[in-house]
Chains A and B, each alone.
Chain A
Protein backbone atom coordinates (compact mmCIF):
# COMPACT_ATOMS: atom_id res chain seq x y z
CA UNK A 1 0.00 0.00 0.00
CA UNK A 2 1.10 3.55 -0.71
CA UNK A 3 1.60 5.97 2.16
CA UNK A 4 2.45 9.61 2.62
CA UNK A 5 4.25 10.09 5.93
CA UNK A 6 5.06 13.30 7.75
CA UNK A 7 8.52 12.69 9.19
CA UNK A 8 10.38 15.59 10.77
CA UNK A 9 8.00 18.04 9.05
CA UNK A 10 8.77 16.69 5.58
CA UNK A 11 6.51 14.42 3.55
CA UNK A 12 7.77 11.08 2.27
CA UNK A 13 5.92 8.85 -0.18
CA UNK A 14 6.55 5.19 0.39
CA UNK A 15 5.19 1.78 -0.48
CA UNK A 16 4.72 -0.67 2.38
CA UNK A 17 3.10 -3.94 3.39
CA UNK A 18 0.02 -3.46 5.60
CA UNK A 19 1.61 -5.29 8.52
CA UNK A 20 4.97 -3.49 8.46
CA UNK A 21 6.10 -1.69 11.60
CA UNK A 22 6.88 1.99 11.55
CA UNK A 23 10.37 1.06 12.74
CA UNK A 24 11.15 -0.93 9.58
CA UNK A 25 9.63 1.72 7.33
CA UNK A 26 11.60 4.53 8.97
CA UNK A 27 14.85 2.61 8.67
CA UNK A 28 14.12 1.73 5.04
CA UNK A 29 13.55 5.40 4.25
CA UNK A 30 16.91 6.17 5.85
CA UNK A 31 16.25 7.22 9.45
CA UNK A 32 18.94 5.03 10.96
CA UNK A 33 18.85 6.82 14.32
CA UNK A 34 15.76 4.70 15.01
CA UNK A 35 17.33 1.51 16.30
CA UNK A 36 16.07 -2.03 16.10
CA UNK A 37 16.72 -3.56 19.50
CA UNK A 38 14.46 -6.19 21.04
CA UNK A 39 11.66 -5.72 18.46
CA UNK A 40 9.25 -6.89 21.17
CA UNK A 41 8.28 -3.56 22.77
CA UNK A 42 10.59 -3.86 25.74
CA UNK A 43 13.86 -1.96 25.27
CA UNK A 44 12.72 1.45 24.02
CA UNK A 45 15.55 2.06 21.53
CA UNK A 46 13.09 2.34 18.64
CA UNK A 47 11.19 5.21 20.31
CA UNK A 48 10.08 8.10 18.14
CA UNK A 49 7.68 10.92 18.92
CA UNK A 50 4.25 10.57 17.37
CA UNK A 51 2.34 13.83 17.77
CA UNK A 52 4.86 14.68 20.49
CA UNK A 53 4.39 11.49 22.48
CA UNK A 54 7.17 8.92 22.87
CA UNK A 55 5.99 5.76 21.12
CA UNK A 56 7.62 2.43 20.30
CA UNK A 57 7.95 2.37 16.52
CA UNK A 58 8.45 -1.41 16.56
CA UNK A 59 4.86 -1.76 17.78
CA UNK A 60 3.26 0.98 15.74
CA UNK A 61 1.89 -0.10 12.38
CA UNK A 62 3.21 2.12 9.59
CA UNK A 63 -0.18 1.87 7.91
CA UNK A 64 -1.62 3.89 10.80
CA UNK A 65 0.99 6.64 10.54
CA UNK A 66 -0.56 8.92 7.85
CA UNK A 67 -2.06 11.99 9.48
CA UNK A 68 0.36 11.83 12.40
CA UNK A 69 3.52 13.86 12.93
CA UNK A 70 6.55 11.63 13.37
CA UNK A 71 9.68 13.05 14.91
CA UNK A 72 13.03 11.25 14.97
CA UNK A 73 16.19 12.59 16.54
CA UNK A 74 17.32 13.82 13.10
CA UNK A 75 14.40 16.24 13.20
CA UNK A 76 15.31 17.67 16.60
CA UNK A 77 18.41 19.41 15.23
CA UNK A 78 20.05 21.72 17.74
CA UNK A 79 17.45 20.91 20.37
CA UNK A 80 19.02 17.47 20.52
CA UNK A 81 22.50 18.94 21.06
CA UNK A 82 21.54 20.37 24.44
CA UNK A 83 20.43 16.97 25.70
CA UNK A 84 23.37 15.14 24.13
CA UNK A 85 25.79 17.59 25.74
CA UNK A 86 24.52 17.04 29.29
CA UNK A 87 24.71 13.27 28.81
CA UNK A 88 28.19 13.36 27.22
CA UNK A 89 29.48 15.68 29.93
CA UNK A 90 28.67 12.99 32.47
CA UNK A 91 30.49 10.35 30.38
CA UNK A 92 27.19 8.57 29.92
CA UNK A 93 27.03 8.30 26.13
CA UNK A 94 28.96 5.00 26.14
CA UNK A 95 28.02 2.79 23.15
CA UNK A 96 25.34 5.24 22.06
CA UNK A 97 22.82 2.65 20.94
CA UNK A 98 20.07 3.84 23.30
CA UNK A 99 21.05 7.49 22.80
CA UNK A 100 18.64 8.72 20.09
CA UNK A 101 15.58 7.27 21.85
CA UNK A 102 16.75 8.60 25.21
CA UNK A 103 17.24 12.07 23.75
CA UNK A 104 13.77 12.05 22.16
CA UNK A 105 12.09 10.79 25.32
CA UNK A 106 13.92 13.38 27.42
CA UNK A 107 12.80 16.10 25.01
CA UNK A 108 9.17 14.97 25.31
CA UNK A 109 9.51 14.68 29.09
CA UNK A 110 10.72 18.28 29.40
CA UNK A 111 7.60 19.41 27.57
CA UNK A 112 5.22 17.19 29.52
CA UNK A 113 6.39 17.34 33.14
CA UNK A 114 5.41 20.60 34.78
CA UNK A 115 7.15 19.97 38.12
CA UNK A 116 9.85 17.39 37.46
CA UNK A 117 11.35 15.40 40.34
CA UNK A 118 13.89 12.57 40.33
CA UNK A 119 11.05 10.08 40.88
CA UNK A 120 9.05 11.48 37.97
CA UNK A 121 12.11 11.45 35.71
CA UNK A 122 12.94 7.85 36.62
CA UNK A 123 9.35 6.85 36.00
CA UNK A 124 9.21 8.62 32.64
CA UNK A 125 12.44 7.03 31.46
CA UNK A 126 11.71 3.52 32.77
CA UNK A 127 11.07 2.27 29.26
CA UNK A 128 14.49 3.33 27.96
CA UNK A 129 16.88 0.47 28.59
CA UNK A 130 20.64 1.04 28.30
CA UNK A 131 22.63 -2.09 27.50
CA UNK A 132 25.76 -0.49 28.97
CA UNK A 133 23.71 0.11 32.15
CA UNK A 134 24.86 3.72 32.23
CA UNK A 135 21.78 4.91 34.05
CA UNK A 136 23.45 6.87 36.85
CA UNK A 137 25.47 9.04 34.48
CA UNK A 138 22.49 9.56 32.19
CA UNK A 139 20.34 10.57 35.14
CA UNK A 140 22.94 13.06 36.41
CA UNK A 141 22.96 14.77 33.02
CA UNK A 142 19.22 14.64 32.47
CA UNK A 143 18.56 16.05 35.96
CA UNK A 144 20.61 19.09 34.96
CA UNK A 145 18.71 19.44 31.70
CA UNK A 146 15.40 19.21 33.58
CA UNK A 147 16.55 21.69 36.25
CA UNK A 148 16.26 19.16 39.08
CA UNK A 149 18.87 19.12 41.86
Chain B
Protein backbone atom coordinates (compact mmCIF):
# COMPACT_ATOMS: atom_id res chain seq x y z
CA UNK B 1 0.00 0.00 0.00
CA UNK B 2 1.22 3.47 -0.84
CA UNK B 3 -0.44 6.83 -0.47
CA UNK B 4 0.64 10.38 -1.26
CA UNK B 5 -1.01 12.28 1.57
CA UNK B 6 -1.57 11.42 5.22
CA UNK B 7 -4.46 13.30 6.83
CA UNK B 8 -5.81 13.31 10.38
CA UNK B 9 -9.26 14.98 10.24
CA UNK B 10 -10.64 16.58 13.39
CA UNK B 11 -14.24 15.47 12.81
CA UNK B 12 -16.14 12.54 11.31
CA UNK B 13 -17.85 14.90 8.86
CA UNK B 14 -14.60 16.19 7.41
CA UNK B 15 -13.22 12.63 7.23
CA UNK B 16 -16.34 11.54 5.34
CA UNK B 17 -16.06 14.50 2.99
CA UNK B 18 -12.52 13.56 2.05
CA UNK B 19 -13.55 9.93 1.64
CA UNK B 20 -16.54 10.63 -0.58
CA UNK B 21 -14.99 13.39 -2.70
CA UNK B 22 -11.80 11.46 -3.43
CA UNK B 23 -12.44 7.94 -4.69
CA UNK B 24 -8.76 7.07 -4.28
CA UNK B 25 -8.65 7.90 -0.59
CA UNK B 26 -8.75 5.21 2.08
CA UNK B 27 -9.59 5.02 5.78
CA UNK B 28 -6.62 3.64 7.69
CA UNK B 29 -7.35 1.03 10.34
CA UNK B 30 -4.42 -0.83 11.87
CA UNK B 31 -2.88 -0.94 8.34
CA UNK B 32 -2.05 -4.60 8.88
CA UNK B 33 -3.66 -6.17 5.84
CA UNK B 34 -4.10 -2.95 3.88
CA UNK B 35 -0.34 -2.57 3.88
CA UNK B 36 0.14 -5.92 2.15
CA UNK B 37 -1.67 -4.81 -0.98
CA UNK B 38 0.04 -3.21 -3.97
CA UNK B 39 -2.62 -0.51 -4.22
CA UNK B 40 -1.71 3.12 -4.49
CA UNK B 41 -4.06 5.60 -2.81
CA UNK B 42 -4.11 9.36 -3.02
CA UNK B 43 -4.86 9.95 0.67
CA UNK B 44 -4.62 7.88 3.82
CA UNK B 45 -7.24 9.09 6.30
CA UNK B 46 -6.25 8.47 9.89
CA UNK B 47 -9.01 8.70 12.52
CA UNK B 48 -6.71 8.51 15.55
CA UNK B 49 -7.75 11.98 16.73
CA UNK B 50 -11.45 11.10 16.87
CA UNK B 51 -11.46 9.09 20.10
CA UNK B 52 -12.41 5.71 18.66
CA UNK B 53 -10.26 3.60 20.99
CA UNK B 54 -12.59 2.53 23.83
CA UNK B 55 -14.75 -0.22 25.30
CA UNK B 56 -17.82 1.02 27.19
CA UNK B 57 -20.42 -0.97 29.08
CA UNK B 58 -23.93 0.50 29.32
CA UNK B 59 -27.05 -1.01 30.87
CA UNK B 60 -28.01 -3.10 27.86
CA UNK B 61 -25.03 -3.08 25.59
CA UNK B 62 -21.30 -2.99 25.10
CA UNK B 63 -19.81 -0.42 22.73
CA UNK B 64 -16.44 -0.92 21.11
CA UNK B 65 -14.80 1.98 19.25
CA UNK B 66 -13.64 1.12 15.75
CA UNK B 67 -9.98 1.90 16.54
CA UNK B 68 -9.85 -0.44 19.54
CA UNK B 69 -7.03 -2.91 19.10
CA UNK B 70 -7.84 -6.62 18.92
CA UNK B 71 -5.53 -7.40 21.83
CA UNK B 72 -7.32 -4.82 24.01
CA UNK B 73 -10.64 -6.54 23.26
CA UNK B 74 -9.16 -9.99 23.85
CA UNK B 75 -8.10 -9.20 27.43
CA UNK B 76 -10.78 -6.67 28.38
CA UNK B 77 -12.62 -7.68 31.60
CA UNK B 78 -15.99 -6.40 30.33
CA UNK B 79 -15.75 -8.43 27.12
CA UNK B 80 -14.60 -11.45 29.10
CA UNK B 81 -17.56 -11.14 31.46
CA UNK B 82 -20.15 -11.74 28.73
CA UNK B 83 -20.68 -14.36 26.01
CA UNK B 84 -18.35 -16.92 27.65
CA UNK B 85 -15.02 -16.72 25.91
CA UNK B 86 -16.54 -16.43 22.44
CA UNK B 87 -14.86 -13.15 21.49
CA UNK B 88 -11.42 -13.70 23.10
CA UNK B 89 -11.22 -17.18 21.56
CA UNK B 90 -11.88 -15.79 18.12
CA UNK B 91 -8.96 -13.38 18.51
CA UNK B 92 -6.30 -15.06 20.60
CA UNK B 93 -4.65 -17.11 17.88
CA UNK B 94 -4.41 -14.42 15.24
CA UNK B 95 -0.69 -14.24 14.42
CA UNK B 96 0.85 -12.81 17.60
CA UNK B 97 0.30 -10.28 20.34
CA UNK B 98 2.40 -7.72 18.46
CA UNK B 99 0.03 -8.01 15.51
CA UNK B 100 -3.12 -7.77 17.63
CA UNK B 101 -1.74 -4.73 19.46
CA UNK B 102 -1.91 -2.90 16.14
CA UNK B 103 -4.83 -4.44 14.24
CA UNK B 104 -8.13 -2.66 14.94
CA UNK B 105 -11.64 -4.11 15.25
CA UNK B 106 -12.90 -1.60 12.67
CA UNK B 107 -10.32 -2.69 10.13
CA UNK B 108 -11.02 -6.36 10.84
CA UNK B 109 -14.73 -5.88 10.23
CA UNK B 110 -14.74 -3.36 7.39
CA UNK B 111 -12.32 -5.45 5.33
CA UNK B 112 -14.88 -8.30 5.31
CA UNK B 113 -12.04 -10.76 4.82
CA UNK B 114 -12.74 -14.48 4.84
CA UNK B 115 -10.12 -15.37 7.41
CA UNK B 116 -11.33 -12.84 10.00
CA UNK B 117 -12.51 -15.03 12.87
CA UNK B 118 -14.03 -12.19 14.90
CA UNK B 119 -16.68 -11.89 12.16
CA UNK B 120 -17.73 -15.49 12.81
CA UNK B 121 -18.07 -14.74 16.51
CA UNK B 122 -19.97 -11.45 16.14
CA UNK B 123 -22.48 -13.01 13.74
CA UNK B 124 -24.06 -15.07 16.52
CA UNK B 125 -24.50 -12.03 18.79
CA UNK B 126 -27.08 -9.28 18.56
CA UNK B 127 -24.70 -6.76 17.09
CA UNK B 128 -24.97 -3.48 15.22
CA UNK B 129 -22.48 -1.18 13.54
CA UNK B 130 -22.67 2.59 13.67
CA UNK B 131 -21.54 4.45 10.58
CA UNK B 132 -21.22 8.19 10.05
CA UNK B 133 -23.38 8.24 6.91
CA UNK B 134 -25.52 5.10 7.10
CA UNK B 135 -26.21 5.25 10.85
CA UNK B 136 -26.99 1.96 12.60
CA UNK B 137 -26.72 -1.17 10.48
CA UNK B 138 -27.22 -4.76 11.73
CA UNK B 139 -23.89 -6.57 11.66
CA UNK B 140 -25.21 -9.54 9.68
CA UNK B 141 -26.63 -7.19 7.04
CA UNK B 142 -23.30 -5.42 6.64
CA UNK B 143 -21.51 -8.74 6.25
CA UNK B 144 -23.93 -10.28 3.79
CA UNK B 145 -24.32 -7.38 1.39
CA UNK B 146 -21.69 -5.04 0.08
CA UNK B 147 -23.78 -1.88 -0.26
CA UNK B 148 -21.72 0.07 2.23
CA UNK B 149 -18.31 0.68 0.75
CA UNK B 150 -17.51 4.35 1.37
CA UNK B 151 -18.44 5.21 4.92
CA UNK B 152 -16.81 5.56 8.32
CA UNK B 153 -17.35 2.81 10.86
CA UNK B 154 -17.48 4.45 14.27
CA UNK B 155 -18.39 1.71 16.70
CA UNK B 156 -19.63 -1.82 17.24
CA UNK B 157 -22.59 -2.21 19.58
CA UNK B 158 -23.24 -5.61 21.14
CA UNK B 159 -26.44 -6.26 23.07
CA UNK B 160 -25.87 -7.94 26.42
CA UNK B 161 -27.79 -11.20 26.54
CA UNK B 162 -28.03 -14.13 28.90
CA UNK B 163 -27.17 -17.53 27.54
CA UNK B 164 -24.32 -19.74 26.40
CA UNK B 165 -21.86 -19.26 23.56
CA UNK B 166 -19.18 -21.48 22.11
CA UNK B 167 -16.36 -20.95 19.64
CA UNK B 168 -14.33 -23.64 17.89
CA UNK B 169 -11.75 -23.46 15.16
CA UNK B 170 -9.18 -25.60 13.43
CA UNK B 171 -5.82 -24.33 12.22
CA UNK B 172 -2.72 -26.02 10.84
CA UNK B 173 -0.44 -24.37 13.34
CA UNK B 174 -0.62 -21.88 16.15
CA UNK B 175 -0.69 -18.25 14.95
CA UNK B 176 -1.65 -19.24 11.40
CA UNK B 177 -5.03 -18.30 9.95
CA UNK B 178 -7.79 -20.78 10.76
CA UNK B 179 -8.96 -23.40 8.27
CA UNK B 180 -12.42 -23.27 9.72
CA UNK B 181 -14.18 -21.35 12.49
CA UNK B 182 -17.53 -22.04 14.12
CA UNK B 183 -19.50 -19.91 16.57
CA UNK B 184 -22.75 -20.91 18.26
CA UNK B 185 -24.90 -18.90 20.65
CA UNK B 186 -27.94 -19.94 22.62
CA UNK B 187 -29.95 -16.95 23.83
CA UNK B 188 -33.64 -16.87 22.82
CA UNK B 189 -32.78 -19.35 20.11
CA UNK B 190 -29.67 -21.00 18.73
CA UNK B 191 -27.56 -19.26 16.09
CA UNK B 192 -24.78 -21.01 14.17
CA UNK B 193 -22.11 -19.22 12.13
CA UNK B 194 -19.39 -20.84 10.04
CA UNK B 195 -16.35 -18.94 8.84
CA UNK B 196 -13.13 -19.27 6.80
CA UNK B 197 -14.76 -21.58 4.29
CA UNK B 198 -12.46 -19.78 3.04
CA UNK B 199 -14.98 -17.14 2.01
CA UNK B 200 -16.51 -14.82 4.60
CA UNK B 201 -18.40 -16.21 7.59
CA UNK B 202 -22.13 -16.71 7.26
CA UNK B 203 -25.06 -17.51 9.51
CA UNK B 204 -26.67 -20.89 9.05
CA UNK B 205 -30.39 -20.99 8.25
CA UNK B 206 -31.24 -24.67 7.76
CA UNK B 207 -29.08 -26.12 10.53
CA UNK B 208 -30.35 -23.46 12.94
CA UNK B 209 -33.96 -24.34 12.07
CA UNK B 210 -33.28 -28.02 12.75
CA UNK B 211 -31.72 -27.46 16.16
CA UNK B 212 -34.27 -24.83 17.19
CA UNK B 213 -37.17 -27.14 16.33
CA UNK B 214 -35.77 -29.80 18.66
CA UNK B 215 -32.63 -29.39 20.76
CA UNK B 216 -31.99 -33.14 20.52
CA UNK B 217 -31.32 -32.87 16.78
CA UNK B 218 -27.63 -32.14 17.33
CA UNK B 219 -26.24 -34.65 14.81
CA UNK B 220 -28.80 -33.72 12.18
CA UNK B 221 -28.11 -30.01 12.56
CA UNK B 222 -24.35 -30.51 12.52
CA UNK B 223 -24.55 -32.61 9.34
CA UNK B 224 -26.79 -30.04 7.69
CA UNK B 225 -23.99 -27.48 7.99
CA UNK B 226 -21.89 -29.54 5.59
CA UNK B 227 -24.72 -29.40 3.02
CA UNK B 228 -25.83 -25.85 3.63
CA UNK B 229 -22.52 -24.06 3.10
CA UNK B 230 -20.13 -23.99 0.18
CA UNK B 231 -16.62 -24.98 1.18
CA UNK B 232 -13.75 -23.93 -1.04
CA UNK B 233 -10.06 -24.58 -1.41
CA UNK B 234 -7.09 -22.41 -0.50
CA UNK B 235 -3.46 -23.07 0.39
CA UNK B 236 -4.45 -24.21 3.89
CA UNK B 237 -7.06 -26.85 3.12
CA UNK B 238 -9.23 -28.48 0.46
CA UNK B 239 -12.97 -27.81 0.33
CA UNK B 240 -13.64 -31.51 0.99
CA UNK B 241 -11.63 -31.38 4.20
CA UNK B 242 -13.48 -28.28 5.40
CA UNK B 243 -16.78 -29.97 4.61
CA UNK B 244 -15.84 -32.95 6.76
CA UNK B 245 -14.56 -30.88 9.66
CA UNK B 246 -17.44 -28.39 9.84
CA UNK B 247 -20.04 -30.82 11.32
CA UNK B 248 -17.50 -31.97 13.93
CA UNK B 249 -16.88 -28.43 15.17
CA UNK B 250 -20.57 -27.51 15.04
CA UNK B 251 -21.49 -30.61 17.05
CA UNK B 252 -18.92 -29.75 19.72
CA UNK B 253 -20.20 -26.18 19.92
CA UNK B 254 -23.85 -27.28 20.08
CA UNK B 255 -23.10 -29.75 22.87
CA UNK B 256 -21.45 -26.94 24.81
CA UNK B 257 -24.25 -24.39 24.48
CA UNK B 258 -26.94 -26.98 25.26
CA UNK B 259 -25.28 -28.21 28.45
- Seen from chain A, the residues whose Cβ lies within 8 Å of a Cβ on chain B are 1, 18-19, 21, 40-42, 44, 47, 50, 53-56, 58-61, 63-64, 101, 105, 123-128
22 interchain pairs (CB within 8 A)? Answer: A1-B6, A18-B6, A19-B3, A19-B44, A50-B101, A53-B101, A54-B97, A56-B32, A56-B101, A56-B102, A59-B35, A59-B99, A61-B6, A105-B97, A124-B97, A125-B96, A127-B95, A127-B96, A127-B97, A127-B98, A127-B175, A128-B96
Residues in B with CB closer than 8 Å to A1 are 6
A50 smallest CB distance to B (angstroms) = 8
**Are A56 and B98 neighbours in the complex by a CB distance under 8 Å?**
yes
Given contacts A18-B6, A59-B102, contact A44 B35 (CB under 8 A): no
Residues in B with CB closer than 8 Å to A58 are 35
Residues in B with CB closer than 8 Å to A101 are 98
**Are B6 and A19 neighbours in the complex by a CB distance under 8 Å?**
yes
- Asked if B46 is an interface residue, CB under 8 A from chain A, the answer is yes
**Are B32 and A59 neighbours in the complex by a CB distance under 8 Å?**
yes
Given contacts A40-B36, A59-B30, contact A64 B96 (CB under 8 A): no
**Are B46 and A41 neighbours in the complex by a CB distance under 8 Å?**
no
A67 smallest CB distance to B (angstroms) = 9
For residue A51, which residue of chain B has the nearest CB?
B101
Majority secondary structure of chain B interface residues (helix, strand, loop or mixed): mixed
A40, A42, A61: the one contacting B31 at CB < 8 Å is A61
- Asked if B21 is an interface residue, CB under 8 A from chain A, the answer is no
Residues in B with CB closer than 8 Å to A59 are 30-32, 35, 99, 102
**Are A55 and B3 neighbours in the complex by a CB distance under 8 Å?**
no
- Seen from chain B, the residues whose Cβ lies within 8 Å of a Cβ on chain A are 1-6, 28, 30-32, 35-36, 44, 46, 48, 71, 92-93, 95-99, 101-102, 174-175
**Are A55 and B102 neighbours in the complex by a CB distance under 8 Å?**
yes
For residue B72, which residue of chain A has the nearest CB?
A53
**Are A44 and B6 neighbours in the complex by a CB distance under 8 Å?**
no
| With A18-B3, A44-B98 already in contact, 18 other A-B pairs whose C-beta atoms are closer than 8 Å | A18-B4, A18-B6, A19-B1, A19-B2, A50-B101, A55-B101, A56-B101, A58-B35, A59-B99, A59-B102, A60-B31, A64-B48, A101-B98, A105-B98, A125-B96, A126-B95, A126-B97, A126-B175
B150 smallest CB distance to A (angstroms) = 20
Complex alpha-carbon distance, A41 and B99, angstroms: 7
B35 smallest CB distance to A (angstroms) = 6
Residues in A with CB closer than 8 Å to B95 are 41-42, 126-127
B57 smallest CB distance to A (angstroms) = 22
**Are A56 and B71 neighbours in the complex by a CB distance under 8 Å?**
no
Residues in B with CB closer than 8 Å to A61 are 6, 28, 31, 44, 46
Complex alpha-carbon distance, A124 and B101, angstroms: 12
**Are A53 and B71 neighbours in the complex by a CB distance under 8 Å?**
yes
Residues in A with CB closer than 8 Å to B98 are 44, 47, 54-56, 101, 105, 127-128
For residue B1, which residue of chain A has the nearest CB?
A19
**Are A63 and B46 neighbours in the complex by a CB distance under 8 Å?**
yes
Complex alpha-carbon distance, A1 and B7, angstroms: 11
